[in-house]
């Protein structure tokens, strides 16, 4: 009889473990970190439909890095409103990484897509996560999504001179002209952080980045 009870307890524990959602077990901390939005903000980039970032490989004869604003959220796994808050729940953001890939499977860095990049986040701190409806805290971070150097080396440097002009009514829209002068990539951004106890956290987000020698904002010709 005792052995039967032990078997039942074991089976019940397996069932309970199977019902635990992935988000509750994807890290050892009591928090979930997520990327809420990615927005391009740069002299040489603009936003297209669906938040796509259009990166100009040559702007008025010069190269510029492309920046992005990333909104990061931290929320409790246990969002019970009766829980108190504590400075021991602070979360710090350490660094970010950007990796590019293409949907056609051609992903060799320096040949098909730019090299991956990493950068620091200055150990930005989230204040104590609040309980209940205030359990989600947002931090906005600025990152470089395309570096200057990426536009000086293949494959982006190969796009120079393949001028992508648009229609007379919309000269900066490259999507009205077919051609081989555009490289479409997906930039996967990973934000790395840690709790005050030293446990790691990370969040991933993706945004499409289209690279080309786009028309300059003032119009009137290519980037020669």
Mean pLDDT of 50-58: 86
| Residue 183 · residue 211 · CB < 8 Å | yes
Mean pLDDT of 133-153: 86
- Angle (CA) 118-120-123 rounded to 5° is 145
Q: In order of start, what are the domains of the chain with their CATH numbers?
A: 27-214 (2.60.40)
Confidence category of residue 216, pLDDT binned at 50, 70, 90:
confident
Q: What is the mean pLDDT of the chain?
A: 78
20-34, 44-58, 165-179, 197-211: range with lowest mean pLDDT:
165-179
pLDDT of 13 > 90? The answer is no
Q: Tell me the pLDDT tens digit for each residue of 71-102.
A: 999 888 877 767 777 788 889 999 999 999 99
**How far is the CA of 23 from the CAs of 11, 27, 75, 136, 214, in angstroms?**
23, 8, 11, 15, 41
- Angle (CA) 146-159-151 rounded to 5° is 30
Confidence category of residue 185, pLDDT binned at 50, 70, 90:
very high
Higher pLDDT, 148 or 163: 148
* % of the chain surpassing 70 pLDDT: 68
Rounded CA gap, 100 and 206, in Å?
10
pLDDT of 122 > 60? The answer is yes
The pLDDT value recorded for residue 27 is 74
The pLDDT value recorded for residue 133 is 53
Higher pLDDT, 79 or 33: 33
Rounded CA gap, 8 and 2, in Å?
10
Higher pLDDT, 191 or 83: 191
């Amino acid at each position: 009889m005792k052995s039967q009870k032990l078997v039942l307890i074991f089976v019940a524990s397996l069932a309970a473990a199977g019902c635990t959602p992935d988000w509750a077990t994807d890290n050892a901390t009591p928090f979930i970190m997520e990327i809420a939005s990615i927005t391009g903000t740069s002299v040489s980039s603009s936003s297209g439909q669906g938040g796509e970032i259009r990166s100009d490989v040559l702007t008025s004869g010069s190269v510029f890095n492309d920046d992005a604003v990333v909104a990061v959220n931290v929320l409790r796994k246990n969002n019970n409103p009766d829980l108190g808050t504590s400075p021991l729940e602070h979360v710090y953001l350490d660094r970010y990484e950007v990796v590019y890939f293409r949907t056609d499977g051609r992903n060799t860095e320096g040949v098909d897509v730019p090299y991956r990049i990493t950068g620091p986040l200055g150990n930005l701190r989230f204040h104590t996560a609040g309980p209940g409806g205030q359990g989600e805290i947002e931090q906005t971070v600025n990152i470089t999504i395309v570096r200057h150097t990426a536009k000086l080396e293949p494959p982006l440097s190969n796009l120079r001179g393949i001028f992508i002009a648009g229609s007379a009514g919309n000269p900066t829209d490259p999507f009205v002209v077919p051609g081989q002068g555009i490289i479409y990539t997906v930039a996967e951004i990973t934000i790395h952080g840690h709790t005050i106890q030293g446990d790691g956290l990370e969040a991933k987000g993706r945004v499409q980045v289209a690279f080309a020698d786009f028309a300059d904002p003032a119009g009137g010709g290519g980037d020669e």
